[in-house]
Amino acid sequence: MMLTEEQKEKYIMAEGGQCPHCGSNNLEYGFYNDFADGSECPVSCNDCGERWYDIYYLVLMEISEESVA
């Protein structure tokens, strides 16, 4: 099932906590797979059976103010 841009944005705004197809929070996450510039995690909904991948990219880093002794 294809998602609209609105459905994708709603899923991202919910931080991946709800199925973008049916709205359920009964999700199952697989193991992360790293690739050249990011990683992906397979996700499936235990209510409607849809499957997809969450894709992650590093977009920011911050130097810690704490000193390591």
Q: What is the pLDDT of residues 25-58, one digit of tens each?
A: 999 999 999 988 899 999 999 999 999 999 999 8
Decide: 57 and 37 in contact? Cβ < 8 Å. Answer: yes
pTM more than 0.85: no
Count of C-beta atoms within a 10 Å radius of residue 51: 12
Domains contained in the chain, number: 1
| Domain contains 31 | yes
| Domain contains 37 | yes
| Domain contains 18 | no
Average pLDDT over all residues of the chain: 90
| Domain contains 1 | no
| Domain contains 33 | yes
Domain that holds residue 35: 26-57
Percent of the chain with pLDDT over 70: 96
Average pLDDT, integer, range 6-29:
91
CA atoms within a 13 Å half-sphere pointing along the CA-CB vector of 30: 15
| Domain contains 64 | no
